[in-house]
C-alpha cells in the first residue's frame, strides 16, 4: 500500500480537517454530534447515495475516522447501526424499509441495536431459541437476548429468530426489524466491571411484528445474519482503525515512568514495550492491507478476523504494560489505563471471541480439518434433546 494520500485523498483530508477545525468540540448530546457530521457529509461515506450515503470510497471513510481521532473528537453513537444493521437493511431490506430507516439511522434520528446473542447461543449463534410464530399478517415473538449493546437507548433493532425448529438449525431462522418501544419488549441493563452499562438483557414477551418488517425471506435468516456478521468483522477488524490505546500513547506513558523503575525492571519494561509496539504496528498494517483490498474493490478475506484478533491482543498487552509500569500507583494515578484494562477483555469476546476467530483462521485460511459438529444434518428440535 502507498501510505501517501493521492491528490483526491489529500483534497478530501483537507476538507474534513477544515470542517473539524471549525468544530473543535462535540455537543454533549451524542445524537446531535452525529447529525452535525451527517449534514456535513461525513457519515455513511461509503453508503450508496440512494441509501442516504455519499457513495464514496473506503479510503475516504478511513480518512474521516483518522481525522476525527486526531482531533480528539468522540466516535459516533450509532456505530452498530452504521456498521451492522444499516448494511443488512441495504442488502436485504424492501424499498419501503430502506426509505423508512436508512437516512434516519445515519443522522442518529433513530439508534439501532443488534439482537443476536442469547444465553445459550453466542458463539454458536445458529442455536438460538427466540421463537417467531405466524399470527395473521404478522408474527409473535417470545424469547430472550443478551449482551445487546445500546438496547437501552435504541429505537430499532435487527432481530434473529427461529421460525422452524423442524429443519437443521441454520435453515429455520428468520430476521426482522423490531421496534424497541413495542409492547412486550423489556430491556434490562447489565453493569460492566468498569462501572458502565453499555449492554443489556432484552426480553420479548409475545411481541407483535408486522410481516412487512421481515428482512429477507422466511427461513433465510442465516444468510441475512451472515451479511451482518461480515459487516461486523469489517467494522471491528481493522481498516486502519486500532482497538484500544494508540501504541504511541503507551510508549509516551511508559517512557515517562520508566526512569522511576529499579534498573533491572527498566530493561524488562523496554523489551516488553518494543515487543508490544511492534505487535500493535503489525495489527495496524494488517488493517491497512484490508483497506487496500477494499479500495481495489475486492472483499477482504481473513484480514478482518486476523485484524480483530491481533488488534485486541496487542491493545491488551500494551495496556497491561502501562498499568504494570505504574505499579501500585495504577490504582489511583491514571484512571484511563484502569478503564481500558477493564474494557478490553470484553473486546476479545464481542463480535467473535478470540477462540472462534482462531478456528476460522485455522479452518478457512490454513486449511486445517473442521471441528466435529454433532448437530450437523439433524433438526434443531432433535439437537436440543
Q: Catalytic positions, please?
A: 232
350 sits near ligand FAD (criterion: CB under 6 A): yes
The interface region with ligand FAD, picked from 112-120, 163-171, 210-218, 309-317 by CB under 6 A, is: 112-120
147 sits near ligand FAD (criterion: CB under 6 A): yes
360 sits near ligand FAD (criterion: CB under 6 A): no
Read off the C-alpha cell for 67: 481525522
CA distances from 373 to 121, 153, 376 (A): 15, 37, 6
Alpha carbon 364 to its chain's center? 22
Q: Is residue 248 classed exposed, middle or buried when 0-12, 13-18 and 19+ CB atoms within 10 A define those classes?
A: exposed
Could you tell me the smallest distance in angstroms from the CB atom of residue 192 to ligand FAD?
Answer: 8
Closer CB to ligand FAD, residue 41 or residue 346?
Answer: 346
| Residue 208 CA neighbour count, 13 Å, CB half | 6
Q: Which of 167, 182, 356, 378 binds ligand FAD (CB under 6 A)?
A: 356
| Residue 35 CA neighbour count, 13 Å, CB half | 11
CA distances from 94 to 171, 177, 214, 383 (A): 21, 11, 9, 33
355 sits near ligand FAD (criterion: CB under 6 A): yes
Closer CB to ligand FAD, residue 42 or residue 112?
Answer: 112
114 sits near ligand FAD (criterion: CB under 6 A): yes
| Residue 157 CA neighbour count, 13 Å, CB half | 26
**Contact (Cβ atoms closer than 8 angstroms) between residue 269 and residue 120:** no
Closer CB to ligand FAD, residue 122 or residue 138?
Answer: 122
Closer CB to ligand FAD, residue 54 or residue 145?
Answer: 145
Could you tell me the smallest distance in angstroms from the CB atom of residue 342 to ligand FAD?
Answer: 11
**Contact (Cβ atoms closer than 8 angstroms) between residue 176 and residue 185:** no
Q: Which residue has the cell 485455522?
A: 362
Could you tell me the smallest distance in angstroms from the CB atom of residue 15 to ligand FAD?
Answer: 33
Q: How many residues bind ligand FAD (CB under 6 A)?
A: 20
Among all residues, whose Cβ is closest to ligand FAD? 122
Closer CB to ligand FAD, residue 151 or residue 323?
Answer: 151
35 sits near ligand FAD (criterion: CB under 6 A): no
Closer CB to ligand FAD, residue 199 or residue 222?
Answer: 199
Could you tell me the smallest distance in angstroms from the CB atom of residue 372 to ligand FAD?
Answer: 10
Read off the C-alpha cell for 294: 477494499
78 sits near ligand FAD (criterion: CB under 6 A): no
Q: Which of 149, 174, 305, 319 binds ligand FAD (CB under 6 A)?
A: 149
Alpha carbon 352 to its chain's center? 10
Beta bridge partners of 185: 204
**Contact (Cβ atoms closer than 8 angstroms) between residue 145 and residue 116:** yes
Binding mask 257-286 for ligand FAD (x = CB under 6 A): ------------------------------
The interface region with ligand FAD, picked from 2-10, 164-172, 273-281, 348-356 by CB under 6 A, is: 348-356
Closer CB to ligand FAD, residue 39 or residue 124?
Answer: 124
SS3 track for 50-118 = HHCCCCCCHHHHHHHHHHHHHCCCCCCCCHHHHHHHHHHHHHHCCHHHHHHHHHHHHCCCCCEEEECCE
353 sits near ligand FAD (criterion: CB under 6 A): yes
For residue 334, give the 3-state DSSP assignment: coil
Q: Which of 122, 168, 210, 362 binds ligand FAD (CB under 6 A)?
A: 122
Q: Which of 33, 112, 156, 199 binds ligand FAD (CB under 6 A)?
A: 199
CA distances from 32 to 77, 152, 280, 377 (A): 10, 18, 33, 49
What are the residues binding ligand FAD (CB under 6 A)?
Answer: 80, 113-117, 122-123, 147-149, 199, 346, 349-350, 353, 355-356, 359, 371
Amino acid at each position: 500500500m502507498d501510505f501517501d494520500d493521492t491528490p483526491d485523498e489529500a483534497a478530501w483530508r483537507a476538507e474534513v480537517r477544515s470542517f473539524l477545525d471549525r468544530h473543535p468540540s462535540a455537543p454533549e448530546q451524542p445524537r446531535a454530534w452525529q447529525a452535525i457530521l451527517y449534514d456535513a457529509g461525513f457519515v455513511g461515506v461509503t453508503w450508496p447515495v440512494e441509501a442516504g450515503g455519499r457513495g464514496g470510497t473506503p479510503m475516504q471513510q478511513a480518512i474521516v475516522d483518522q481525522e476525527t481521532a486526531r482531533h480528539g473528537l468522540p466516535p459516533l453513537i450509532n456505530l452498530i447501526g452504521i456498521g451492522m444493521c444499516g448494511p443488512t437493511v441495504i442488502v436485504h431490506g424492501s424499498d419501503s424499509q430502506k426509505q423508512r430507516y436508512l437516512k434516519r439511522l445515519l443522522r442518529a434520528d433513530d439508534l439501532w441495536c443488534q439482537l443476536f446473542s442469547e444465553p445459550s447461543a453466542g458463539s454458536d449463534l445458529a442455536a438460538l431459541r427466540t421463537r417467531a410464530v405466524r399470527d395473521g399478517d404478522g408474527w409473535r415473538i417470545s424469547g430472550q437476548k443478551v449482551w445487546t449493546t445500546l438496547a437501552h437507548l435504541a429505537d430499532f433493532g435487527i432481530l434473529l429468530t427461529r421460525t422452524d425448529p423442524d429443519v437443521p438449525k441454520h435453515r429455520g431462522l428468520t430476521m426482522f426489524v423490531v421496534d424497541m418501544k413495542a409492547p412486550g419488549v423489556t430491556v434490562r441493563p447489565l453493569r460492566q466491571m468498569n462501572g458502565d452499562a453499555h449492554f443489556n438483557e432484552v426480553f420479548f414477551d409475545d411481541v407483535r411484528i408486522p410481516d412487512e418488517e421481515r428482512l429477507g425471506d422466511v427461513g433465510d435468516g442465516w444468510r441475512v445474519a451472515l451479511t451482518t456478521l461480515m459487516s461486523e468483522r469489517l467494522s471491528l477488524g481493522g481498516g486502519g482503525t486500532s482497538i484500544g490505546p494508540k501504541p504511541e500513547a503507551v510508549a509516551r506513558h511508559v517512557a515517562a515512568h520508566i526512569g522511576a523503575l529499579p534498573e533491572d525492571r527498566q530493561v524488562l519494561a523496554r523489551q516488553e514495550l518494543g515487543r508490544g509496539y511492534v505487535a500493535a504496528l503489525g495489527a495496524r498494517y494488517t488493517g491497512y492491507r484490508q483497506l487496500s483490498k477494499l479500495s481495489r474493490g475486492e472483499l477482504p478475506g481473513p484480514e478482518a478476523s486476523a485484524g480483530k484478533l491481533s488488534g485486541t491482543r496487542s491493545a491488551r498487552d500494551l495496556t497491561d504494560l502501562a498499568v504494570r509500569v505504574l505499579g501500585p500507583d495504577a490504582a489511583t494515578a491514571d484512571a484511563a489505563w484502569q478503564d481500558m484494562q477493564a474494557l478490553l477483555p470484553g473486546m476479545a469476546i464481542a463480535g467473535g471471541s478470540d477462540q472462534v476467530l482462531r478456528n476460522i483462521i485455522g479452518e478457512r485460511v490454513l486449511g486445517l480439518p473442521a471441528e466435529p459438529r454433532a448437530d450437523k444434518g439433524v433438526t434443531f428440535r432433535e439437537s436440543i434433546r
